[in-house]
Structure 1
């Protein structure tokens, strides 16, 4: 088979609606969607609920990508309204890690997928392609939150694998130094900045960060601070 033909992107018709994304994330999504054969003219962007309604009336969309963490709009209510307007419209949330109630609320309101901004471009591209084909992409971290919610509702929840505070306790509590580093991470400091602030080497900080991730059962810095806040370690 001709490799040029094999690698050719499928032509996509229609439009996509981007709701609530800040400038940098919007630029990322536009680049990713361009790789999926969506031109700039096929993308509609807004953060205004009234404008969302007008756009949905004006033309059909292949999919809506919604940032549910908008500060001026209730993302769950907006998703619910969009789903009520067109139950067939795939609505994929692309947001920061959120509380369990917010994740469940978005899915119950009609979201057909839930991804995290911290995912790399390749991951987002694969997930969005899946959504366009009728899939329901869920970030593994979000999937774990949903499963925790389901397991917690069962009488046998105590037999489930440890998570959150229980996981941290099972792997060993965070040390005072690890908590100091976690607080710095929560403030947005890099490993180099943390090393300078604590008079430690960058390699030492990297080692502590790996231990923090292991104890909290997470893979990224954002997830670490989210879990720590959720279980009161940063309060």
Structure 2
């Protein structure tokens, strides 16, 4: 058992619902859950909202890990459904999306906590442990982002009514360059060699691209880039 697993004396809430459409992320989260002491037998995995709804209708869950950018819709809608059917359910969002509007929508829908996918395994594990212990973890980047917007939001609310939503930041020149290379079908290794930078740097840039475009995969980033006129 991992040294980060919960104490043997603590009963792990189960079953667990994992809603994530990308297979590598599914595998990563399953490994983290196993390190916490869970067995795969008590974890149900859904890659779409339709699958998640079928699983939720078939049984009651004690914990849900939910992505937002799913092939057939936004995970926020599903979070609201889960919360309505079970007010005590612990729901942790693990997403690449980080705009204030999306974050607040998820929290208002009933999410217990919100974490960005870019966090390393230990940070994800600690956030899950916090939820299991009754906490409400919020990703540090998200907390800073929301706090930074609060004074502006309050001022705008007083002057003009409801605060406006700040649009997502545009990509930097380097991020736009990397997005174009991604659209050309190049791997992270290919991009690193082409730009003569480290593969880790490429991965960091791609994470930032996902965050700004509110997507969770290369295909979605390309499609969103084209919709926004960022790609020719």
Q: Same fold (TM over 0.5)?
A: yes
Equivalence for 2:23? 23
Q: Partners of 1:194 and 1:222 in 2: how far apart?
A: 11
Aligned 1:53-72 pairs, distance under 5 A: 53-55=56-58, 58-59=59-60, 61-72=61-72
C-alpha distance after superposition, 1:32-79 (max 9, x if no partner): 111111111111222324314313xx33x3311011111202311111
Q: Partners of 1:181 and 1:220 in 2: how far apart?
A: 14
Aligned 1:215-230 pairs, distance under 5 A: 220-226=204-210
Q: Partners of 1:79 and 1:148 in 2: how far apart?
A: 26
Aligned 1:96-175 pairs, distance under 5 A: 96-155=96-155
What RMSD in Å do the two structures reach over aligned CA positions?
3.6
Query: What is the aligned residue count?
Result: 197
More displaced stretch, 74-83 vs 220-229: 220-229
Q: Partners of 2:37 and 2:43 in 1: how far apart?
A: 11
- Structure 1 position 156, deviation (Å): 8.8
**Compared CA separation, residues 98 and 189, structure 1 to 2 (3 A):** farther
2:37 aligns to what SS in structure 1? coil
More displaced stretch, 127-136 vs 111-120: 111-120
Q: Which runs of 5+ in 1 are unaligned?
A: 158-163, 169-173, 211-218
**Compared CA separation, residues 224 and 29, structure 1 to 2 (3 A):** closer
Q: Partners of 1:227 and 1:95 in 2: how far apart?
A: 9
Give the conservation status (yes or no) of the 8 Å contact 1:113–1:137: yes
C-alpha distance after superposition, 1:79-138 (max 9, x if no partner): 111101111111101111243211110111000111122211111111100110011111
Larger radius of gyration: 1
Give the conservation status (yes or no) of the 8 Å contact 2:97–2:211: no
**Compared CA separation, residues 189 and 11, structure 1 to 2 (3 A):** farther
Aligned 1:32-111 pairs, distance under 5 A: 32-46=32-46, 47=48, 48-55=51-58, 58-59=59-60, 61-111=61-111
- Highest RCO, 1 vs 2 (Cα 8 Å, sep ≥ 6): 2
Q: Which runs of 5+ in 2 are unaligned?
A: 158-167, 215-227
Give the conservation status (yes or no) of the 8 Å contact 1:114–1:139: yes
Give the conservation status (yes or no) of the 8 Å contact 1:96–1:118: yes
